[in-house]
Structure 1
Amino acid sequence: MEIVAENAAMLSNYEVYSLLSDLQAKSSGRKKPNKSQQNLATISYEAVKYLEKTPCKDQTPEIIGDFMKKLEPFKLTKSEKLQLLNHRPTSAVEIQLMIEESEERLTEDQIEQLIDISRSLPGEDEEEEEQMEADTGEQQEAGE
């Protein structure tokens, strides 16, 4: 198979998660896959397992559409919007890493607005904090 346009479209984590989940659902119960299909199934499985642990599992097309509308006044590129959607920045430093020349293009108020918009996405920050605390607790127990 030849790749015609490798960057024809960029996909959000939600879109990848939905696509792979649908493919897995359609492929279950089929005849025994060959070696390359098994490899692809493994990669798909691992990607879905990873994405299930991220906030994208709680997103919908409506939520994403609303998020993109909120970003319109900032004149961001498609890739910058996608990074904000996938990574949900919580600090000005993260915004600087995701938005090229953000110091020249955005005011401090706009950066704070972007952080607030990112926080409005589903996927509780509390869940992330609880997971980090659980991981820290496991590391401390292992060290004892």
Structure 2
Amino acid sequence: METVNDNAAMLSNFEVYSLLSDIQAGRGQKKPSKHQQHLATITYETVKYLENTPCVNHTEEIVNQFMKDLEPFKLMRAEKLQIINQCPTSAVEIQLIVEESEERLSEDQIYELLEVIGKYTNKGEEEGEGQEEAEEEHRDQDG
């Protein structure tokens, strides 16, 4: 199998979850063929997995705004999608996602990126206080 357009296959977990949820909702209208039964299993298992990821709290508007908020960091589309899908909570996780992060992002930019991510995750709301304290300590050490 050959990929004609590499970027055509890049979707966020939210987009996959929405699509598969729509497919599940449309079932029951016709008797599924043998091939569609396999699709039903794959769809069910994938939706079940995605329900335990941050994408269940996303909406189309949130994903679009999240992508816009990530623009100043000059990340590649694949990196943005990984950030949206995984919602990293530490600098180490950011460094693992962003290729050549040491050259492309300063330490301050990484903490700014974590702030942006925190706006879009429930974890960010709960851990936001600890993250802010860590950032203040970081700034105090620099200044």
TM-score, normalising length from structure 2?
Answer: 0.79
1:118 Cα deviation after fit: 1.2
Match of residue 47 from structure 2: 48
Q: CA RMSD in A?
A: 2.0
1:3 Cα deviation after fit: 6.3
Match of residue 20 from structure 2: 20
- Structure 2 CA distance, aligned partners of 1:95 and 1:4? 28
Match of residue 78 from structure 2: 79
Structure 2 counterpart of 1:43, one-letter code? I
Match of residue 121 from structure 1: 120
1:31 Cα deviation after fit: 2.8
TM-score, normalising length from structure 1?
Answer: 0.79
Q: Would you identify which runs of 4 or more consecutive aligned residues in structure 1 move more than 6 Å?
A: none
Offset from partner CA, 1:38-61 (integer Å, 9 cap, x none): 111000001111111111011011
Give % identity. 62
Distance 1:3 1:40, change over 3 A: farther
Report how many residues are paired: 125
Deviates further, 61-70 or 13-22: 61-70
Distance 1:90 1:122, change over 3 A: closer
- Structure 2 CA distance, aligned partners of 1:72 and 1:125? 20
Offset from partner CA, 1:46-99 (integer Å, 9 cap, x none): 111111111101101111111111111111100010011000111111111100
- Structure 1 CA distance, aligned partners of 2:125 and 2:113? 19
Match of residue 61 from structure 2: 62
In structure 2, stretches of 5+ residues that fail to align are 127-143
- Structure 2 CA distance, aligned partners of 1:3 and 1:20? 23
